[in-house]
């Protein structure tokens, strides 16, 4: 009986690691499509929807800097535009990758409470990669909560 339980645990762990790898690869691929001529800071992101589908996005800059959109939000909006409203995981890939404050708030709006956030500090020219994992609950202290606001 214990062997069988361990086997199930190992199977879940392998599936989770496989999904993490897929998310990371999708974020890296999206990064290549980045339009970042002003900052020269390409970012890619991928999200795992509750349905199991992966949606990606890249940062898109504009000469009017305030009109730029981060990769994380592009990926999330891509998922939402396909009818997905609940995310199980978010992955961002860039040099020193971390979601900005605006992205953190958007992530909290759509991600499940225990959703995983994967940050891939990826420097392909130097062949360096460092991956960190956290949960959405750790991203933003005291976020704006629409349900608490009566929305």
CATH number at residue 125: 3.40.140.10
Instruction: Provide the sign of the torsion angle of the four alpha carbons 66, 72, 75, 77, taken in this order.
Output: negative
Residue 91 forms part of a structural domain: yes
Nearest to residue 59, comparing CAs of 74, 47, 38? 74
Residue 2 lies in a domain: no
Helix axes 2-31, 71-81, angle to 10 degrees: 110
When divided into structural domains, the chain yields a total of 1
Q: Is 60 exposed, middle or buried (0-12, 13-18, 19+ CB in 10 A)?
A: middle
User: Is residue 50 annotated as a catalytic residue, yes or no?
Assistant: no
Contact at 8 Å (CB) between 91 and 27? yes
Please tell me which residue in 4, 25, 61, 72 is annotated as part of the active site.
Answer: 72
Answer yes or no: pTM beyond 0.85.
yes
Q: What is the pLDDT of residues 31-78, one digit of tens each?
A: 999 999 999 999 999 999 999 999 999 999 999 999 999 999 999 999
């Amino acid at each position: 009986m214990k062997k069988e339980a361990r086997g199930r645990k190992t199977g879940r762990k392998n599936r989770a690691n496989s999904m993490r790898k897929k998310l990371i690869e999708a974020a890296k691929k999206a990064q290549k499509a980045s339009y970042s001529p002003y900052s020269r800071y390409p970012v890619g992101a991928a999200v795992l929807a509750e349905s199991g589908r992966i949606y990606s996005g890249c940062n898109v800059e504009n000469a009017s800097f305030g009109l730029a959109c981060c990769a994380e939000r592009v990926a999330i909006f891509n998922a939402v535009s396909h009818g997905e409203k609940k995310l199980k995981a978010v992955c961002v890939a860039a040099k020193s990758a971390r979601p900005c404050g605006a992205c953190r708030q958007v992530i909290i709006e759509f991600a499940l409470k225990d959703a995983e956030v994967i940050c891939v500090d990826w420097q392909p020219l130097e062949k360096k990669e460092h991956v960190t994992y956290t949960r959405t609950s750790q991203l933003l202290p005291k976020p704006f909560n629409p349900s608490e606001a009566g929305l």
